[in-house]
Amino acid sequence: MASQAVDRSSPLPDLNGLGWPAKSTVSRLHETTAERTAREKMMVSAVRTILECIGEDPNREGLLKTPERYAQAIMWMTRGYEERLADVINDAVFAEDHDEMVLVRDIDISSLCEHHLVPFTGKVAIAYIPNQLVLGLSKLARIAETFSRRLQVQERLTKQIAIAVQEAIKPRGVAVVMEATHMCMTMRGVQKPGSITVTSCMLGCFRTQQKTREEFLTLIKR
């Protein structure tokens, strides 16, 4: 495998700047073109096997290119494993004497449930109260995007977004609320279309101060 340089300038505790990397995340981040090609060939073979196992013919016209398409699609849908949060945040941290809430809401997210590898989609609201530093507004959406483009459960995704913001700029508090629809509940299992799962993570003053928490919850409902 290619050399795995460690970046100690990351704003997050993970030395590679990935934020809670999985077992093979670092190897994927640093892989060569040849290693990536080999990885995709393995996935193509696996998808062909799946097609055969469900009773399909992977050689029929409509499915001939499906294994290659799926391999490319799943790599794109999990591209968060290739993104370093240090690069995502980059230099978009600014000194600013602002001590009121900063809120970005209705951020669209799409992810894959790690239990069934089917999508869940929804919206997330992210707020923080600065402590001398503010983060570029688009970076809140980028942080959400990075973590959502990994295999996830909604509870962990919500917490990872909050902790990433907390570690990046050390604000007085961070609040994240996510609402999502899970295809594993609507297409299979209990099959309950329209059901929505809501998760939250409150850190710092959002957890300890009721008025601050209530202000946030009121603002995201408008």
Asked about 115 being catalytic, the answer comes back as: yes
Exactly one of 152, 154, 160, 166 is catalytic; name it: 154
**Cβ neighbours of residue 188 under 8 Å, at least 6 residues apart?**
116, 118
The closest of 144, 170, 149 to 11, measured between CA atoms, is 170
Q: How far is CA 198 from the centre of its chain?
A: 16
Asked about 4 being catalytic, the answer comes back as: no
Exactly one of 4, 96, 98, 115 is catalytic; name it: 115
Structure tokens at 135: 């983060």
d(CA 221, CA 217) in angstroms, rounded, equals 7
Asked about 205 being catalytic, the answer comes back as: no
Exactly one of 52, 114, 155, 214 is catalytic; name it: 114
Exactly one of 116, 167, 179, 209 is catalytic; name it: 116
The closest of 185, 157, 114 to 20, measured between CA atoms, is 157
Asked about 116 being catalytic, the answer comes back as: yes
Exactly one of 152, 166, 182, 205 is catalytic; name it: 182
Rounded to the nearest 10 degrees, the angle between the axes of helix 137-148 and helix 154-169 is 140
Exactly one of 30, 35, 184, 209 is catalytic; name it: 184
Asked about 113 being catalytic, the answer comes back as: yes
Active-site positions? 113-116, 154, 182, 184
